[in-house]
Chain A
Amino acid sequence: MEVLVQTVTVGFSQIFQPINLLLLFVGVLWGMIFGAIPGLTATMGVALAIPFTFNMKSISGLVLLTGIYIGGVSGGFISATLLNMPGTPSSITTCFDAHPMSKQGKSGLALALGLFSSFFGGILGVIFLISLASMIARAALKFGPFEYFSLAVMAFVAVSSMLGGNILKNLIGIALGLILSCIGADPITSIPRLTFRFTELQSGIALLPLLVGLFCIPEIIADIESEAERIVPEESRGMKLSEVFQAAKILFKQIGNALRSFAVGFVIGVFPGIGGATSNIISYGLARSSSKHPEKFGTGIPNGIIASEVSNNASIGGAMVPLLALGIPGDAVTAILLGGFMIHGINPGPLMFKYNPDLVFGVYAAQFWGNVVMLLLGILLMKFYIYSLSFPKQYLLPLITVCAAVGAFGLNNRIFDIWVMLIFGVVGYVLKKLDFPVLPIIIAFVLGPIAESNLRQGLTASAGSFAPIFTRPLSLTLLILAAFLFVLGRVLVKKGESSKC
Chain B
Amino acid sequence: MGKRFFVMLLTLFVIVSFAAYPTGPIKVVVPYAAGGASDVQVRIIAKYVKQLFGWDFAVVNITGGGGSTGAREVLKAKPDGYTVLWYHQSIFSNFHVGTAEFNYYDFTPVCIATRGNRVVVTRPDTPWKNLKDAIEDAKKNPGKIRLGAEIGATSHFQVIPMQMAANNGFILTASSGGDMDRITKIMGGHMDLSPIALSAAVPFLKSGELKALAVLSPERDPFLPDVPTAKELGLEELVFTQDQMFFMPKGTPEEIVRTFASAIKQVLQLKECADELAEKAFAIPMYMDGEEMLNFLKWEDERFDRFARAAGLKK
Chain A residues in the interface with B (C-beta under 8 A): 47, 50, 54, 141-145, 184-185, 187-192, 199, 202-204, 272-273, 326-329, 335-343, 345, 347, 349-351, 354, 412-414, 453, 456-457, 460-461, 463
B188 lies within 8 A of A199 (CB): no
Q: Which of B162-209 contact A (CB under 8 A)?
A: 171-177, 180, 183-185, 187-191, 202-204, 206-207, 209
Q: Would you call B280 an interface residue if the criterion is a C-beta within 8 Å of the partner chain's C-beta atoms?
A: yes
Closest 6 CB pairs of A and B: A339-B35, A203-B64, A141-B188, A144-B190, A190-B152, A203-B69
In the complex with contacts A187-B176, A350-B209, A141-B35 CB distance below 8 A: no
B184 to chain A: closest residue by CB: A328
Q: CB-defined interface of B252-265 with A at 8 Å, one 1/0 digit per residue?
A: 00000000000000
User: In whole angstroms, how far apart are the Cα atoms of A185 and B100 in the complex?
Assistant: 10
B184 in complex: contacting residue of A50, A141, A187, A414, CB < 8 Å: A141
A50 lies within 8 A of B34 (CB): yes
A144 lies within 8 A of B188 (CB): yes
Q: Which residues of B contact A326 (CB under 8 A)?
A: 184, 187
A329 lies within 8 A of B180 (CB): yes
A343 lies within 8 A of B43 (CB): yes
User: In whole angstroms, how far apart are the Cα atoms of A284 and B112 in the complex?
Assistant: 52
B40 lies within 8 A of A189 (CB): no
B315 to chain A: closest residue by CB: A191
B35 lies within 8 A of A335 (CB): yes
Beyond A188-B174, A339-B40: 6 further Cβ-contacts under 8 Å?
A: A47-B34, A54-B47, A191-B152, A343-B40, A414-B69, A461-B191
B63 lies within 8 A of A412 (CB): yes
User: In whole angstroms, how far apart are the Cα atoms of A189 and B308 in the complex?
Assistant: 13
Q: Would you call B219 an interface residue if the criterion is a C-beta within 8 Å of the partner chain's C-beta atoms?
A: no
B156 to chain A: closest residue by CB: A190
User: In whole angstroms, how far apart are the Cα atoms of A339 and B280 in the complex?
Assistant: 11
In the complex with contacts A190-B153, A203-B69, A340-B35, A457-B62 CB distance below 8 A: no
A190 lies within 8 A of B36 (CB): no
A191 lies within 8 A of B207 (CB): no
A336 lies within 8 A of B33 (CB): yes
In the complex with contacts A190-B153, A328-B184, A342-B35, A204-B64 CB distance below 8 A: yes
Q: Would you call B143 an interface residue if the criterion is a C-beta within 8 Å of the partner chain's C-beta atoms?
A: yes
B99 in complex: contacting residue of A202, A414, A456, CB < 8 Å: A202
Q: Which residues of B contact A143 (CB under 8 A)?
A: 188
Q: Which of B30-79 contact A (CB under 8 A)?
A: 33-36, 39-40, 43, 47, 60-66, 68-69, 72-73
B59 to chain A: closest residue by CB: A51
B258 to nearest A CB, angstroms? 28
User: In whole angstroms, how far apart are the Cα atoms of A463 and B62 in the complex?
Assistant: 34
A345 lies within 8 A of B172 (CB): no
Q: Would you call B97 an interface residue if the criterion is a C-beta within 8 Å of the partner chain's C-beta atoms?
A: yes
Q: Would you call B239 an interface residue if the criterion is a C-beta within 8 Å of the partner chain's C-beta atoms?
A: no
A349 lies within 8 A of B173 (CB): no
B203 in complex: contacting residue of A327, A460, A463, CB < 8 Å: A327
A190 in complex: contacting residue of B72, B99, B177, CB < 8 Å: B99
B66 lies within 8 A of A414 (CB): no
In the complex with contacts A202-B68, A203-B65, A413-B62, A343-B101 CB distance below 8 A: no
A337 to chain B: closest residue by CB: B35
B123 to nearest A CB, angstroms? 11
Q: Would you call B151 an interface residue if the criterion is a C-beta within 8 Å of the partner chain's C-beta atoms?
A: yes
A339 lies within 8 A of B36 (CB): yes
A197 to chain B: closest residue by CB: B101
Q: Which residues of A contact B73 (CB under 8 A)?
A: 413-414
B146 lies within 8 A of A189 (CB): no
Q: Which residues of A contact B191 (CB under 8 A)?
A: 461
In the complex with contacts A203-B63, A414-B73, A339-B33 CB distance below 8 A: yes
Q: Would you call B98 an interface residue if the criterion is a C-beta within 8 Å of the partner chain's C-beta atoms?
A: yes
Q: Which residues of A contact B300 (CB under 8 A)?
A: none
User: In whole angstroms, how far apart are the Cα atoms of A50 and B98 in the complex?
Assistant: 34
Q: Would you call B226 an interface residue if the criterion is a C-beta within 8 Å of the partner chain's C-beta atoms?
A: no
B63 to chain A: closest residue by CB: A412
Q: Which of B194-232 contact A (CB under 8 A)?
A: 202-204, 206-207, 209
User: In whole angstroms, how far apart are the Cα atoms of A443 and B261 in the complex?
Assistant: 48
Most A Cβ at <10 Å: residue of B64, B66, B73, B209: B64
B49 to nearest A CB, angstroms? 14
Q: Which residues of A contact B152 (CB under 8 A)?
A: 189-191
Q: Which residues of B contact A202 (CB under 8 A)?
A: 64-65, 68-69, 72, 99
Q: Which residues of B contact A343 (CB under 8 A)?
A: 35, 40, 43, 280
A185 lies within 8 A of B33 (CB): no
A141 lies within 8 A of B280 (CB): no
B36 lies within 8 A of A349 (CB): no
In the complex with contacts A190-B153, A192-B99, A457-B173 CB distance below 8 A: yes
B173 lies within 8 A of A460 (CB): yes
A341 to chain B: closest residue by CB: B35
A412 to chain B: closest residue by CB: B62
Q: List 9 A-B contacts (CB under 8 A).
A: A54-B47, A144-B190, A184-B64, A190-B153, A202-B72, A202-B99, A342-B35, A351-B206, A457-B175
B207 lies within 8 A of A457 (CB): no
Q: Would you call B279 an interface residue if the criterion is a C-beta within 8 Å of the partner chain's C-beta atoms?
A: yes
A457 in complex: contacting residue of B47, B176, B204, CB < 8 Å: B176
User: In whole angstroms, how far apart are the Cα atoms of A354 and B35 in the complex?
Assistant: 22
User: In whole angstroms, how far apart are the Cα atoms of A463 and B40 in the complex?
Assistant: 37
A349 lies within 8 A of B176 (CB): no
Q: Which residues of A contact B66 (CB under 8 A)?
A: 185, 190
B65 to chain A: closest residue by CB: A203
A273 to chain B: closest residue by CB: B177
In the complex with contacts A272-B184, A327-B203, A190-B151 CB distance below 8 A: yes
Most B Cβ at <10 Å: residue of A142, A190, A456: A190
User: In whole angstroms, how far apart are the Cα atoms of A202 and B61 in the complex?
Assistant: 17
A413 in complex: contacting residue of B60, B188, B207, B279, CB < 8 Å: B60
In the complex with contacts A188-B151, A199-B72, A460-B174, A142-B188 CB distance below 8 A: yes
A54 to chain B: closest residue by CB: B47
User: In whole angstroms, how far apart are the Cα atoms of A306 and B302 in the complex?
Assistant: 59
B171 to nearest A CB, angstroms? 5
A464 to chain B: closest residue by CB: B171
Q: Which residues of B contact A329 (CB under 8 A)?
A: 180
Q: Which residues of A contact B60 (CB under 8 A)?
A: 413
